[in-house]
Amino acid sequence: MVEKRTLMFLTLATLVWAISMSSLAGYFYLQNTAHLEQIAENQQSLNKASSTYDESTTKYNALHSEYSMLHYSYSSHKGETFTFLMDSFSRLMNNLKGNYSSILMNQEDLNETCYRLEKACEEIYREGNVTKEDFGRRLNDYYDLFNLLAIRELNIAVSETVTLSVSICINYGNDTEEWHNKTSVPAGFSLFQLTQSVATIDPDYYPEMKPGHILLKSINGIEEGCFWMWYYWDPGKQDWVWGPVGCDAWMLKDGGVYKWNFECWR
């Protein structure tokens, strides 16, 4: 009887051990499968980012070569009128818009910059005599826009694999602050895009201001009598630092802390 009971306990223990080992093996198998799938997804994302980077670089170099040729024609011309270069400039602009059409469609600050540049070119062309100063100014504006588009495109490629965590405060100037802590945004987001994502804003565009062309007239309907100024937190100084450029030109960094102040100047 004792031997039978011992045998039964041994059989039961063996069965429990076998079931436990089988469950453990199944668990590790599922974990390993999920891990391998995650590695494959990450590799796919990296491959896509690498491919996008190569395409962006090829496009940038081609457009940069076209710009360099036009700039050479501009800098080497000794005459008083530069009207004859406007057709080449127009082709350059069309190539730029064609290559960066998706960014121009989705990012209103850059689209506005492109629109303003085209309008300025139309105006000086209609006047009939494009001076060296006029053409040089438009050429410089084109180069600024071109580089911003190239940077934004690369940022978008990075954003598919990298996400930032940032915080932003809106200080309404009446002892009321609104914090959006640890907000997740794609890498390459500007302060303008971050503010758009957390508040209702009314931007104003200034063509002559650079870098960046946008100032905010209102945030969440607050605009009367004062001005919206932005700051970033400097961990080294342990203090807020006044924003040195337009909010559309300031790229966010992971862990960054930003603030909009509604300030009245007396």
- Taking only the tens place, the pLDDT of each residue in 93-127 is 999 999 999 999 988 889 999 999 999 999 998 88
The per-residue pLDDT for range 2-45, each reduced to its tens digit, is 565 666 656 665 665 556 556 555 544 555 555 445 445 545 55
Which single residue is written with the structure tokens 């400039």?
89
Alpha carbon of residue 26 to chain centroid: 43
pLDDT average, residue stretch 209-218: 88
Query: Closest Cα to residue 183, out of 266, 256, 99, 81?
Result: 256
pLDDT digits (tens, 9 = 90+) for 138-165: 999 999 999 889 888 887 777 767 788 9
Instruction: Return all residues near 183 (Cβ < 8 A) that are at least 6 apart.
Output: 165, 166, 167, 168, 194, 197, 198
Identify the residue whose tokens are 């895009």: 193
> Hey, how many other C-beta atoms are within 10 angstroms of the C-beta on 111?
15
Rounded Cα gap, residues 165 and 194, in angstroms: 11
* pLDDT reported for residue 7: 61
**What pLDDT is attached to residue 61?**
84
Q: What is the pLDDT of residue 28?
A: 45
Evaluate the CA torsion angle 197, 203, 208, 209 in order and state its sign: negative
Whether 179 has a pLDDT exceeding 90, the answer reads yes
Q: Are 240 and 232 in contact (CB under 8 A)?
A: yes
Does the pLDDT at position 180 exceed 80? Answer: yes
pTM: 0.65
Domains and their CATH numbers in the chain: 44-157 (1.20.120), 163-263 (2.170.130.30)
Would you state the pLDDT for residue 266? 56
Q: Indicate whether 173 pLDDT > 60.
A: yes
Compute the distance between CA of residue 84 and CA of residue 243 in angstroms, rounded to an integer: 41
Tens of pLDDT, residue by residue over 49-85, are: 556 667 877 888 889 889 999 999 999 998 889 999 9
Q: Answer yes or no: are the C-beta atoms of 93 and 117 closer than 8 Å.
A: yes
Q: What local confidence, expressed as pLDDT, does residue 156 receive? A: 78
String of DSSP letters for the chain: -HHHHHHHHHHHHHHHHHHHHHHHHHHHHHHHHHHHHHHHHHHHHHHHHHHHHHHHHHHHHHHHHHHHHHHHHHHH--SS--GGGHHHHHHHHHHHHHHTHHHHHH-HHHHHHHHHHHHHHHHHHHTS---HHHHHHHHHHHHHHHHHHHHHHHHHHHHTT-EEEEEEEEE-SSS-EEEEEEEEEETT-BHHHHHHHHS-EEEEE-TT--S--EEEEEETTB-SSSEEEEEEEETTTTEEEE--S-GGG-B--TT-EEEEEEE---
